[in-house]
Amino acid sequence: MTAFDLSPPSSAQRDALVADLSAEEQRVLLQHGTEAPFCGVFLDNKRDGVYCCRLCALPLFRSSTKFDSGTGWPSFFAPFDPAHVREIRDISHGMIRTEIVCARCGSHLGHVFPDGPPPTFERHCLNSVSLGFVENGQPYPDPLQRGGAEAQPAA
């Protein structure tokens, strides 16, 4: 069970968080868009830390699970906590895929595919604009003022 509060932001909190997004972040996070490959700020990030939801700051993926998939998007073989990422059947674009969204705020993150490395054989393919990054030892952002696990340093 996760130590993080997964209850969704209130309407007022969500409005405040959305107001802080760029047009491109809104297109990807809220309208299920995709950023162009090989241009995301986190594609080549090699720092140790945790990738969080850009909208609500829920921890999503650890740098220790990141790998170079060659696809042009940051890829991870396992989430920070399976409860933090929700999977949705996606039948857009004439194919069947599995979309992944933030379990707390519902923001679009990317897709998961069954072609990753061991031990999970999953490739969680993420849009950089869907993410924030917290270096190990730094506190997690807490834009919803939840305290608790959100106030603890990234591990």
Q: Contact, 75 vs 126, CB < 8 A? A: yes
- Compute how many other C-beta atoms are within 10 angstroms of the C-beta atom of residue 81: 18
Determine if residue 52 is labeled as part of a ligand binding site.
no
pLDDT above 90 coverage of the chain, percent: 84
Determine if residue 39 is labeled as part of a ligand binding site.
no
Between CA 86 and CA 99 the distance in angstroms is: 8
The answer as to whether 71 is a domain residue is: yes
The answer as to whether 150 is a domain residue is: no
Between CA 152 and CA 155 the distance in angstroms is: 9
Domain at 129, CATH number: 2.170.150.20
The answer as to whether 148 is a domain residue is: no
The answer as to whether 155 is a domain residue is: no
**Residue numbers of the domain that contains 38:** 11-143
pLDDT of 2: 73
Between CA 41 and CA 45 the distance in angstroms is: 7
pLDDT tens readout for residues 53-83: 999 999 999 999 999 999 999 999 999 999 9
Given a cut of 80, whether residue 144 has pLDDT beyond it is yes
pLDDT of 87: 95
pLDDT tens readout for residues 78-107: 999 999 999 998 777 677 889 999 999 999
Q: In this structure, what are the phi and psi dihedrals at residue 26, rounded to the nearest 5 degrees? A: -65, -40
Write out the catalytic residue numbers.
Answer: 125
The answer as to whether 79 is a domain residue is: yes
Number of domains in the chain: 1
- The mean predicted confidence, pLDDT, of the chain is 93
Query: Confidence class of residue 1 from pLDDT cuts 50, 70 and 90?
Result: low
* Predicted TM-score (pTM) above 0.75: yes
The answer as to whether 48 is a domain residue is: yes
The answer as to whether 58 is a domain residue is: yes
The answer as to whether 151 is a domain residue is: no
